[in-house]
């Protein structure tokens, strides 16, 4: 059975973390209560806040720092800033969104500092590098190679494109939430996202299914971009039907869709990779020491 890229099923979220409206409201209320208690110095609330916020801080830091030690330092900076600015959290966004906003600013400061330093040296192994397992060694090697290539490809993106890829396709945040974090319109987010996805697809073509498909003909539509737009809900049903019909009869465009889907799957896997336990422990220990020092 031929694969369907443009329907008839509705587009799936790239890293589904959808939360029902009622559950979201309850979650926000619980977070507001937690922050209020933490502001008053409640040690249990502070520890819970550190646990809840350190995970998104670590994941975001990992997306921008291939060196584990740099990611650890950045996450500690993010958490320290969160604690210093706890009084500014109004509860009109989720705790994770607030954390990402603070993390983005911290990344910006680090980027400026690094720009003033000596030229970049060869990057060390990334955080996704895992020891090979004895079972299915061939597939393990392929996954590792794709993971390393993805890290390199994300790191090579322009900063603005890297932000939207990490937040939207790695972290799985809705486009509207990404727009809020970045302080830009949702249309601008999607525009950057499409360009970033196409860049990753081109770079990762040797590592994914469909990447070796022949080049589309001059009369073919920009199928990969159209698929990216479809995933963001930007295409009408008529356009989707037309694209599906074309892809079914064009191996080149079918390969373009297949390779983009593989790349987005790699992004999802990137976001699901557990942060090494020693980094998680170091960050939380450092932040707890900071809390203790404030008393």
Q: What angle do CA 19, 16, 5 make, to 5 degrees?
A: 135
Contact 186, 175 (CB under 8 A): yes
Least confident span in 24-38, 123-137, 162-176, 268-282:
123-137
Quick check: 197 pLDDT over 90?
yes
pLDDT reported for residue 21: 58
Quick check: 122 pLDDT over 50?
no
pLDDT reported for residue 250: 94
Token reading at 132: 């090979």
Quick check: 188 pLDDT over 80?
yes
Report whether the peptide linkage leading into residue 104 is cis, meaning its omega lies within 30 degrees of zero: no
Other Cβ atoms within 10 Å of 55 Cβ, number = 16
pLDDT reported for residue 81: 84
pLDDT band at 228 (very low <50, low <70, confident <90, very high): very high
Quick check: 137 pLDDT over 60?
no
- Mean pLDDT (whole number) for 222-234: 96
Token reading at 102: 């603070």
Average pLDDT of the chain is: 80
Instruction: State which of 44-53, 112-121, 137-146 shows the largest mean pLDDT.
Output: 44-53
Quick check: 138 pLDDT over 80?
no
């Amino acid at each position: 059975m031929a694969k369907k890229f443009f329907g008839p099923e509705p587009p799936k979220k790239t890293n589904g973390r959808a939360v029902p409206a009622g559950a979201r409201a309850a979650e926000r209320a619980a977070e507001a209560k937690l922050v209020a208690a933490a502001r008053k110095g409640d040690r249990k609330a502070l520890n819970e806040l550190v646990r809840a916020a350190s995970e998104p801080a670590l994941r975001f830091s990992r997306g921008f720092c291939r060196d584990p030690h740099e990611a650890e330092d950045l996450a500690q900076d993010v958490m320290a800033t969160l604690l210093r600015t706890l009084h500014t959290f109004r509860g009109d966004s989720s705790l994770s969104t607030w954390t990402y906003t603070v993390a983005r600013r911290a990344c910006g400061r680090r980027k400026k500092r690094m720009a003033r330093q000596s030229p970049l040296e060869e990057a060390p192994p990334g955080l996704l590098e895992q020891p090979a397992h004895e079972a299915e060694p061939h597939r393990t090697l392929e996954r590792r190679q794709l993971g390393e290539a993805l890290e390199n490809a994300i790191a090579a993106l322009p900063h603005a494109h890297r932000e939207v890829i990490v937040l939207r396709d790695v972290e799985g945040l809705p486009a509207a939430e990404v727009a809020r974090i970045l302080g830009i319109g949702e249309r601008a987010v999607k525009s950057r996202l499409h360009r970033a996805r196409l860049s990753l697809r081109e770079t990762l073509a040797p590592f994914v299914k469909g990447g070796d498909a022949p080049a589309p003909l001059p009369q073919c539509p920009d199928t990969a971009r159209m698929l990216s737009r479809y995933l963001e809900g930007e295409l009408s049903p008529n356009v989707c039907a037309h694209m599906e019909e074309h892809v079914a009869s064009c191996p080149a465009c079918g390969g373009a869709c297949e390779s983009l889907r593989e790349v987005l799957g790699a992004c999802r896997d990137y976001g699901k990779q557990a942060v090494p336990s020693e980094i998680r422990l170091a960050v939380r220990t450092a932040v707890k020491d900071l809390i203790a020092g404030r008393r």
